[in-house]
Chain A
Amino acid sequence: MNEGMSAIVKTMSVLLIMPMTIFGMYVIIHGHLTPGGGFPGGAVMATMMAMLFVAFGAEKSKKFLGKGSLSTIESLGLLAFAAVAFIGIQATFFSNFLANSASYFGMSISYGPNPGYLNSGGVLPLMNLAVGIEVFAAITAIVLVMLTYREEKS
């Protein structure tokens, strides 16, 4: 486990980083339109990290991304979620101040069926993004802890 796996696996996993990140971001950012959202998208991105951990070995990965920095990212994600909820407090806590505002994510949509516009939803994509960051960091931390725990045992 210390040295990781063969050069073929390492190369392939590095090549896969980009598609997996893009897919994760796609699931997160389309959370208000399609099945998915912050949690599944964050989990997809955490899978990418799990793949890298397996390919390169837990020791090397720990140097690259420690538990401390993951915890910080996690807290920042949660704080971002709360901050978005707080910005709306001029009306009420959690109010959707971006919806129908004609600015970012604020497109007004007429009543009735439509193909789904990304530029709608108000604060929902922002909250999905915050949840995505939090879930990404948390699941990565869990995987890291489980990998290093197994190393300590053996």
Chain B
Amino acid sequence: MIDAWLEFCSQNAPALVIAIPLIAAFATPLFSRISEKVRNIWVVLSLLATFRVTATLLHNVLDNGQVVYTLGASVPSLTAPDGFPFRIILQADAMSAFMAIISVSMALIVCIYSFRFMGKKSGLDKYFALLLVMTAGMIGLVTTGDLFSMFVFLELLSVASAAMIAYYSKGESAEAAFKYMVVSSIGALMILFAAGMLYGQYNLLNIAGLAGVIEFTLIDKMALVLLFSAFALKCGAVPLHMWVSDAYGEAPAPVSAFLVVASQAGLYALFRISFTLFGGLPGIATMGWAMIIFGLLSMFVGVTMAIPQKDIKRLMAYHAVSQTGYMLLGVGVGLAVINDMGSLALFGKSAMEGGIFHVINHAMYKGLLFLTAGAIIYRTGTKNLNEMSGLAHTMPLTTIFFIVGALSIAGLPPFNGFASKLMIYESVFLFNPLFAVIAMVVSILTLASFVKVFHSAFMGPKVSKSAKGGEVPLSMWFVMGILAVLIIFFGIFPDVMLDNLVTPAVDALLNQAGYIGGVI
């Protein structure tokens, strides 16, 4: 019985990973009419179920290379009945499954943290429903094999995120949410327009199908630029980063931690477009340079904007921009040498591994940092660094977790940020030494900025306002502790992550022919 059930879950995993959080979200308002406790149990159980199915999907993908699921067909593998993929196809390769497992793990952590952090505020049924919708949007965005459904899931994610940012519905958070909504809508319309351009030429919306026939006409180039800029906007790379500081800064702290993963879903789409949709074309190496320049700008501008900030969450938001730069730099170097097999094998692939490894590390340590910021806000009620002092006296655990997160983001051993940054430094140095030097300088500036935060928030005498309370409740520090332990674990044993998840993900990104072959 259980075997049959597991077999069923395994067969339908790509559809279930999207369907479970979505159905759970629809049912959450019903359960919260019974009682709060029932609602909380329901949300955690549904996220655990999603996690279980995502793990099954990951397992299948690592065993078989990729999993294809055709919605509405008579059998899931019937992708192209007459050699033409016309249905909505979900296609998960190692990269998709890697991103999906990050999303659902962070959703679980953020959800448990939110129970006490949000406390008895009103409208929490909508809060948890939207959290689940965001999870569904992210997983859908990373598992879909269809350009139009990518647009749909991105909109789902954006609308849910905007509502979450506006949760406090004060002046600033409403303003931040409005800004986020406008910026995301512009990005989404660019994606829709680009999808229309490609559909008009090839009568296809399927990414694998398009990648097989694309010719790189002028219209294709315009579509590439539109898609590239739209997804760069969604991941918050520098010329398009103006929404990040407001959105991350004004959202409730657990939502900020989750928005980091939401931006990374945009990053995934950027990589998918560059490597899979346009990957086989000779001119794509130029886009690698564009990605490198976006990355360098993000790193440097992000960190220099972060240093003068006085609002702890706004400061961390600018650091998130800066860290996104490392991922763009690492993967961009890989894309710039994609047509040069020698360089790709020598340093391109390890640069990409560094960049992709940094994605999961960033989700962990930036998530942890936003959660510690939330813990500080929970106890002191202020986001202003000048108003907090001596928190190490009353919140020892939060202090330890903050140190772990701060040293990890600065790239110090033995934390996971060091592992991925070292890979980026070493491989980018072979590509261009100057870029590696910039990356290191940015890390030093990051450390300087976090030393400032540590000194002003945790050191010094107790201030009467911040002394009240003490440590945060168990459920809050417990999930922060899980993240801190994972950060140290993957810092000491990076090979566990690299061999099992990151290298297959990079291989999947580079294996464009395999992705196309899965459908056609």
Contact = CB atoms under 8 A, between A and B. Distances in A.
Interface of A: 68, 71-72, 74-76, 78-79, 82, 85-86, 88-89, 91-96
Nearest to A78: B26
Nearest to A69: B33
Given A68-B33, A89-B12, A89-B15, A79 B23 contact: yes
B127 to A, nearest CB: 14
13 contacts: A75-B27, A75-B29, A82-B19, A82-B22, A82-B23, A86-B23, A92-B70, A92-B71, A93-B19, A93-B72, A94-B88, A95-B71, A95-B74
Interface in B70-123: 70-76, 88
Contact of B72 (A74, A76, A78, A92): A92
Contacts of B23: 79, 82, 86
B27 A79 contact: yes
Contacts of A88: 72
Interface in B24-50: 26-30, 33
A68 B122 CA distance: 13
Interface of B: 12, 15-16, 19, 22-23, 26-30, 33, 69-76, 88
B503 to A, nearest CB: 31
Contacts of B19: 82, 85-86, 93
Given A68-B33, A72-B33, A82-B22, A93 B15 contact: yes
B72 A96 contact: yes
Contacts, number: 56
B439 to A, nearest CB: 43
A132 B270 CA distance: 35
B76 A92 contact: yes
A27 to B, nearest CB: 23
Contact of B12 (A72, A79, A93, A96): A93
Given A85-B19, A89-B12, A92-B76, A71 B29 contact: yes
A74 B125 CA distance: 14
Nearest to A93: B15
B75 A72 contact: no
Contacts of B28: 75
A95 B73 contact: yes
B84 to A, nearest CB: 18
B69 A92 contact: yes
